[in-house]
Amino acid sequence: MTGNLSLLLKKYSVPALFTLTGIAMLYLGLQSTQNSSYTIATVMMLVAGILSFLYSSGKMSAMLLTILGVVAGVAALVALGWSTYSVNKTYSHQKRYDLCLIKAQANLRDIRTAQKAYAEANGVYANDWNKLVDFIKNGQVPTIDAVGVVPSRKITEQERDFLYGDNRAIDNNMTEMEAVLLSRSANCPEDLLGFKRDTVMVSFMSTKFGSRSYKEGRIKAGIGPFYADSLPYIPMANGKKWKLETMDSVSVGEEKIPTIRVSGKMPFARVEGEKPIELSFGKLTSSDTGGSWEQ
């Protein structure tokens, strides 16, 4: 009796293992969403278990088993090739999506930077892309031309008399405004010779998008050089533009402010078959210009 049981275990243990494993894999596959490679592997495992049972029980000849084994081997190679293709396709799609996402976020950040500068210069946001692109290329913004540092000392009584004409206490070190006024006086202190704080107009393009750090940052991110004319377009979306919405005057509390919202859908989803996400910044009902990717 014990010998027969041992013989049965040796004869059917491997077929039983294959069959039970195939059934378990099939059950798990039905309980969750699996790809085609998993389904093929499950079927192959189940078929291998059934064939092993038939062969072990003597109901299948060695020749037939060999033929079926060859067929199964070919099917396995096909499944392996398909799986490799599917993995490579998924990897390529993921890389393309990641690059598109990086470009889109950089694009929106640049639009936001340009729109804020435009609003500071004009009081409202640019309500069409031509105005914004022209401002980027030809607009000027104020900047401080700074030479020298504020001396780390208190002003003297004579300097106080010149600046304020009264007898106020001298408790704190010299401020930058005091340094500016003293440097422009007829009796400029020696430690303020050459000190300068002037507001000058400079090119917005060279200031914001022409700096070395900005250019190197784009190269490091793998998104290439900046082109003002490409700013209105969603990256890799075949010429589709971002949706630009502005309001010149919106009541927020007791203030009236301009508002902006720029939005657009990614040209494809992170996972094929899913819906593409929308990226945006700003709100038309408040001064918030935060980006959806920053939340």
The model's pLDDT over 32-65, given as tens digits with 9 standing for 90+, comes to 655 566 666 666 666 666 666 666 666 666 666 5
Pair (31, 101) in one structural domain: no
Closest CA to 206 of 146, 124, 117, 121: 117
Pair (134, 232) in one structural domain: yes
* 144 domain residue, yes or no: no
Pair (28, 54) in one structural domain: yes
Which of 25-39, 94-108, 177-191 is predicted least confidently?
25-39
* 10 domain residue, yes or no: yes
Pair (239, 177) in one structural domain: no
Pair (283, 167) in one structural domain: no
Q: What is the pLDDT of residues 55-91, one digit of tens each?
A: 666 666 666 656 666 666 666 666 656 666 566 666 7
Which of 30-44, 192-206, 226-240, 269-283 is predicted least confidently?
30-44
Pair (129, 160) in one structural domain: no
The predicted pLDDT at position 31 comes to 62
Count of domains observed in the chain: 3
The predicted pLDDT at position 80 comes to 58
The predicted pLDDT at position 178 comes to 92
Pair (242, 274) in one structural domain: yes
The predicted pLDDT at position 254 comes to 83
Q: When comparing pLDDT for 30 and 241, which is higher?
A: 241
Distances (CA, A) of 281 to 245, 272, 273, 292, 293: 11, 25, 26, 6, 9
Position 12 pLDDT exceeds 60: no
Domain boundary among 53, 71, 90: 90
The SS3 of residue 138 is helix
Domain boundary among 71, 90, 109: 90
Q: What is the pLDDT of residues 279-288, one digit of tens each?
A: 999 999 999 9
Position 244 pLDDT exceeds 90: yes
Place of tokens 């084994």: 69
> Cβ(259)–Cβ(247) under 8 Å?
yes
Average pLDDT score over residue span 236-249: 95
Cα atoms in the 13 Å half-sphere on the side-chain side of 83: 14
Pair (120, 68) in one structural domain: no
Distances (CA, A) of 129 to 34, 133, 140, 204: 45, 6, 18, 16
* 170 domain residue, yes or no: yes
Phi, psi of 241 (to 5 degrees): -95, 155
- The residue segments making up the domain with residue 256 are 97-139+227-294
* 214 domain residue, yes or no: no
The predicted pLDDT at position 253 comes to 82
Q: What is the pLDDT of residues 113-172, one digit of tens each?
A: 999 999 999 999 999 999 999 999 999 988 888 899 999 999 999 999 999 999 999 989
Pair (234, 120) in one structural domain: yes
Pair (56, 8) in one structural domain: yes
* 216 domain residue, yes or no: no
Neighbouring CB atoms inside 10 A of 282's CB total: 24
Pair (264, 132) in one structural domain: yes
Pair (128, 267) in one structural domain: yes
* 27 domain residue, yes or no: yes
* 114 domain residue, yes or no: yes
* DSSP structure class, residue 26: H
Place of tokens 């060999």: 66
Neighbouring CB atoms inside 10 A of 157's CB total: 10
* 290 domain residue, yes or no: yes
The predicted pLDDT at position 74 comes to 66
